[in-house]
Amino acid sequence: MTSPVRSDILDTELWNAFRQGDEVAFGQIAQRYYKSLFSYGAKFSKDREFVKDCLQDLFMELWYRRETLGDTEFVKFYLLKSLRRKIYKESLKLQWLTSEEELDFDADILEELSIEQQIIEGETHTLQLQQLNRHLATLSKRQQEIIYLKFYEGLENEAIAQVMSISRPAVANLLYRTVQELKSRL
Amino acid sequence: MIEAFVMMEHYADYCLEDFVLDARFQRWVRYQPADEESFWQAFLEQHPQQAQDIERARTLLQSVYRRYESQLSDSEINSEIQKLVAKARASKETSIDRIPTDDDLPAPKIISFRGPYGWLLRAAMVILVLGVVGWMWLAQSPKSAYDQRVAGQSFVEHTNQTHTWQLVRLADGTRVTLEPHARLSYPEPFSATKRQVYLSGTAFFDVAKDAKRPFLVYANELVTKVLGTSFIVKAPDRSAQTIVEVKEGRVSVMEAANDPAQQLESSRELTGLILTANQKVIFERDQERMVKTLRDVPEVVSSANQTPTFQFKDTPISEVLTELEQAYQVDILFDKDVLSHCPLTATLTDQPLFEKLTVICEAIGAHYEVLDGQIVVDSKGCK
């Protein structure tokens, strides 16, 4: 698996090939972002097929717009933002949400570690991880989403602000507060 | 070395919060790549006073990564990617510019009937109205198969009035992409035993799997039946041919006029003319004749776990052909004994199937033809 931190910026060559209508390059680009996007989408809906459908539509839009797209560095951010909007709109359509509601960011309940994993990770460490996990679950939806976008997707604060449609200082504040809270539980 | 030293100084006064927010630190915790491993080990040796913060920052990040990891297998990803590539390719072949999706694109510009070109638009409207009236008058004569089937039924109808392809999602999860002017009708909801739709024009179907309720497409004289797969039906009312092309899976095709069509409808097995991946059937409407052949540009079938590279080094031709057979899921007939002694060295990654075959055949002085949806390679052995 390649690290998203390094592969966030696509090779110019690949990107250009895609923009000129090379569907293999398109596939490679989609491949690079798929897991990360799915993982984000799955936090808003437990219906895996629904998330996959949204992603199919999202990538096809990217394909149809290939000639009007700009730089490569914003691709991931653009995709995350579009995915969130797409899931929101589709959820409204399917009446999973009403227009007053917001999307709920929610991770699956983690099963406790298996004995093997506990042995591998060491006992005290395991205990700490489980405590933290329980604590993460008590954070607000927004706090969880910020933590996710920052640590898991590696986004800059500016990008997080745009994806979540909140101000940049609000992101910085909430992020700082959340890290402090988590730290106090360590 | 100097660079590493500078980097280490950069982290010298980092505390826990700084570490967890640092992209490089995150990468180390998440993927443990060898270069980062050695960097951070060296850092710890030089800055033992930060060991506790680093350890806690690691634990914090690990718990985040564990909590938010989603389960998605590589084969699931691959199959989604292959679908995308196939759709992108199909959009190029059929020269679709783009599919306007319902909401994520900017709102269409409103065309003004006033303004400098207003007169032109008004004139166009008049011609259009005349055209429709004239067409309705002409259409008194034989009604299309589509109109006959749909008449008097309480179906939901979609007509693609845009100039680009349009996506229609059915309640069962099936996705139908309609060409401009194509029309699709269906009962909503589908019945408990089958999912039947009626098509006029060209459409690409990505049928949701439901083994208990076969999916039936009525288009011109043909009925196409599937249990879950993707395929294209080309059935404009006035064209000379009706065509069904299969991208993946199996479908069966039958003339709608034939009585056994009833049988096709009700049975769960696929009867009639069976088409598999990359095959197509052309129905010559005036001669009422069906010809089975291969698609013009066969595609690698996505259910295969890995995309083959088609790189060969002294590989016996018989193995090469077997690899092509598996990748494209088409039948290739050849004499195994004769061709197992002929080696081939070639890279055939990017060519379409028929170009690959041309290269292979040239290498051994053979030739191939497509017969009844299969490829037949005729060779006297290599020289």
Residue-range domain boundaries for chain A: 4-93, 115-184
In-domain check, residue B79: no
A·B CB contacts under 8 A = 133
- Do B289 and B157 belong to one domain? yes
- Do B123 and B228 belong to one domain? no
Residue of B nearest to A56 (CA): B84
Q: Any chain A CB within 8 A of the CB of B106?
A: no
- Phi, then psi, of B296 in degrees rounded to 5: -60, -40
In-domain check, residue B83: no
Q: Residue B97 pLDDT > 50, yes or no?
A: no
Counted domains in chain B: 4
Q: How far apart are CA B69 and CA A6, in angstroms?
A: 19
- Do B228 and B101 belong to one domain? no
Q: What is the mean pLDDT of residues B229-253?
A: 84
- Do B245 and B181 belong to one domain? yes
Q: CA nearest A42: which of A124, A130, A105, A118?
A: A105
In-domain check, residue B299: no
CB B381 within 8 A of CB B338: yes
Cβ-based contacts of B32 with chain A (< 8 Å): none
Q: Any chain A CB within 8 A of the CB of B82?
A: yes
* Six-digit token string for A86: 């797409």
Question: Which residues of chain A from 31 to 50 reach within 8 Å of chain B, CB to CB?
Answer: 31, 34-35, 38-39, 42-43, 49
Coil, helix or strand for B341? coil
Query: Residue B127: which pLDDT band, with cuts at 50, 70 and 90?
Result: very low
Cβ-based contacts of B103 with chain A (< 8 Å): 89
Q: CA nearest B321: which of B305, B335, B301, B303?
A: B335
Shortest distance, CA B346 to any CA of chain A (angstroms)? 20
**Which CATH entry fits the domain spanning A115-184: 3.40.640.10, 3.40.718.10, 2.40.128.90, 1.10.10.10?**
1.10.10.10
Query: Residue B115: which pLDDT band, with cuts at 50, 70 and 90?
Result: very low
Where in A100-174 does DSSP place strands (E)? none
| 8 Å CB contact of B101 and A57 | yes
In-domain check, residue B161: yes
Q: Any chain A CB within 8 A of the CB of B349?
A: no
- Do B229 and B251 belong to one domain? yes
Q: Of B50-64, B113-127, B138-152, which gets the smallest average pLDDT?
A: B113-127
Smallest Cβ–Cβ distance between A182 and the set B60, B80, B81 belongs to: B60
- Do B182 and B251 belong to one domain? yes
Question: Which residues of chain A from 81 to 120 reach within 8 Å of chain B, CB to CB?
Answer: 82, 85-86, 89, 107-108, 110
Residues of the domain holding B24: 2-68
- Do B266 and B360 belong to one domain? no
**ipTM of the modeled complex:** 0.82
Query: How high is the pLDDT of residue B263?
Result: 55
- Do B235 and B173 belong to one domain? yes
User: In B102-139, which positions are buried (b, 16+ CB within 10 angstroms) versus exposed (e)?
Assistant: eeeeeeeeeeeeeeeeeeeeeeeeeeeeeeeeeeeeee
pLDDT one-digit tens code per residue, B167-190? 888 988 888 988 888 999 999 888
In-domain check, residue B257: yes
* Six-digit token string for A68: 């009007």
Helix H or strand E segment including B347:
strand B343-347
- Do B150 and B287 belong to one domain? yes
Q: How far apart are CA B236 and CA B61, in angstroms?
A: 58
As averages over each run of 10 residues, the pLDDT of chain A (186 residues) reads 45 83 90 91 87 92 83 77 89 77 69 52 67 82 90 87 88 90 83
- Do B367 and B290 belong to one domain? no
Fold of A4-93: Rna Polymerase Sigma Factor; Chain: A (1.10.1740)
